């Protein structure tokens, strides 16, 4: 993109979103790179996020590993350096606040958003839904399949489409859901019938049996078998599909 001072000023005044290529991160955690036609750009650490730690500094997790990547920014300032070369001061903070403002005004339940997986824990995945704004995706909303960790289904950096389950305007908390992308119980069993033999993944052990994932949003239960471990691939036979109770009885055969 060919950018001149006039165009840069317009982008700044209108808080337009611009793409910055980060060449390096210096010892003070400032990101250094360029926008457009190689216009030198600096994104200071204190502009890397609107969220800060107790010490008042932006956490380095928002900065490290950004070298060699393209990120979205807004322009905070345009100055001339000592060589009279145009220098852009970039800001992720402005972008985040811009996104939060839009979300406060427009976000509602059942709205679909595109996001990137930024964190994975035993109980939830954390999804960047734009401008550094993060929503929580509980494991129970990732899939109907019960898993030990969100990483059993999702990967860091993965791009996914999520649906807003709930948005609290007072706290800014966003609850998301993902499992609807994989269809209903009825849709997932459409091509499965009693007696079929298919491959699954062992996901959960309870007192009543072993739960085996058959598809991303479908699981069945089998009687306990010794030597079976979590995450293991197994062959199962479909013993009985109960459509009314949305349950599948399995037999582990190998």
Over residues 108-130, the mean pLDDT reads: 93
Q: How far, rounded to the nearest angstrom, does the alpha carbon of residue 207 sit from its chain's CA centroid?
A: 33
Write out the CATH class of domain 191-252: mainly beta
Per CATH, the number for 5-97 is: 2.40.50.140
For the chain, percent helix, then strand, then coil, each to nearest 5?
20, 40, 40
Give the single-character DSSP code of 181. G
Q: Tokens 């049996």 map to which residue? A: 209
Q: How far, rounded to the nearest angstrom, does the alpha carbon of residue 18 sit from its chain's CA centroid?
A: 21
Q: Where in the chain is the domain with CATH 2.40.50.140?
A: 5-97, 108-182, 191-252
Please calculate the CA angle 144-163-48 and round it to the nearest 5 degrees: 115
Number of neighbouring beta carbons within 10 Å of residue 147: 22
Q: How far, rounded to the nearest angstrom, does the alpha carbon of residue 244 sit from its chain's CA centroid?
A: 34
Query: Where is pLDDT greater, at 3 or 164?
Result: 164
- State yes or no: pLDDT of 218 exceeds 90: yes
Over residues 146-152, the mean pLDDT reads: 91
Over residues 189-197, the mean pLDDT reads: 93
Strand partners, 218: 215
Nearest to 40 by CA among 10, 82, 96, 95: 82
Q: Which CATH number among 2.30.300.10, 3.20.20.140, 2.40.50.140, 1.20.120.420 corresponds to the domain 108-182?
A: 2.40.50.140
**Integer Cα distance of 106 and 167 in angstroms:** 10
pTM: 0.71
Query: Are the CB atoms for 34 and 41 separated by under 8 Å?
Result: yes
């Amino acid at each position: 993109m060919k950018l001149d001072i006039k165009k840069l000023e317009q982008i700044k005044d209108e808080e337009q979103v611009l793409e910055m290529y980060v060449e390096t991160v210096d010892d003070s955690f400032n990101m250094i790179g360029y926008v457009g036609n190689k216009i030198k750009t600096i994104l200071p650490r204190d502009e890397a996020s609107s969220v800060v730690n107790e010490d008042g500094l932006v956490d380095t997790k928002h900065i490290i590993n950004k070298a060699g990547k393209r990120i979205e920014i807004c322009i905070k300032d345009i100055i001339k350096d000592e060589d009279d070369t145009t220098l852009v001061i970039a800001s992720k903070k402005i972008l985040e606040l811009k996104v939060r403002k839009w979300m406060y005004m427009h976000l509602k339940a059942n709205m679909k958003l595109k996001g990137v997986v930024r964190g994975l824990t035993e109980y939830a995945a954390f999804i960047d839904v734009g401008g550094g704004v993060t929503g929580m995706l509980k494991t129970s909303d990732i899939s109907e399949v019960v898993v030990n960790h969100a990483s059993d289904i999702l990967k860091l950096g993965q791009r996914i489409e999520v649906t807003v389950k709930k948005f609290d305007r007072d706290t800014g908390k966003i609850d998301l859901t993902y499992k609807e992308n994989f269809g209903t119980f009825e849709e997932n069993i459409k091509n499965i019938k009693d007696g079929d033999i298919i491959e699954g993944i062992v996901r959960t052990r309870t007192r009543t049996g072993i739960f085996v994932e058959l598809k991303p949003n479908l699981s069945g239960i089998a009687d306990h078998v010794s030597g079976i471990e979590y995450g293991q691939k197994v062959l199962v036979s479909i013993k009985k599909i109960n459509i009314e109770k949305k349950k599948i009885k399995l037999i582990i055969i190998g």
